[in-house]
Structure 1
């Protein structure tokens, strides 16, 4: 199975789970990990800019990585997945959790 197929399957499963477990619009908590650099953090934050998101960051104990939590109200499961895809396409080497 290719990486693209795995990604498509992952997002299809996520969409199904979100539709079954939440009433929309709903708050959603995104979690990302990036190598610690102000530029990377700003890249992720800018994707959620002007959307009413509450963003918190925390450096790892050795300061090599930073976790970014984004709490935001999303309209539906498709909107949640669209943001994940936007982040992974625009921010190099980001890890989505």
Structure 2
């Protein structure tokens, strides 16, 4: 999936998430592990906020710092029940300033 922010384009959030739900349901066989990818400035507080969005979900994660250490990429494989849960997590993480969702 491309950067969610750029995919939003001119769509309002409801249209964007309705379209995303349709795409998810057409390409995934829920329940399953779903891979989330984020890039964030290397700030422990923001990274912790991302983890909080996954509090009630079983997940594994990997992180990698950029060459200069300014950014961290986070990949989280989370067991989700349906497209609605995927979207709820994206919306929660989307509230965190400076997070790039891929």
TM-score range, shorter chain: 0.7 to 0.9
Unaligned runs of 5+ in 1: none
Distance 1:50 1:81, change over 3 A: closer
Q: TM-score, normalised by structure 1?
A: 0.85
Tell me, in whole angstroms, the C-alpha distance in 1 between the residues paired with 2:56 and 2:44. Answer: 19
1:37 is aligned to: 43
Aligned pairs, how many? 95
Indicate yes or no: 2:77 matched with 1:71.
yes
Indicate yes or no: 2:98 matched with 1:93.
yes
Q: CA deviation at 1:9?
A: 3.4
More helix by share: 1
Distance 1:45 1:10, change over 3 A: same
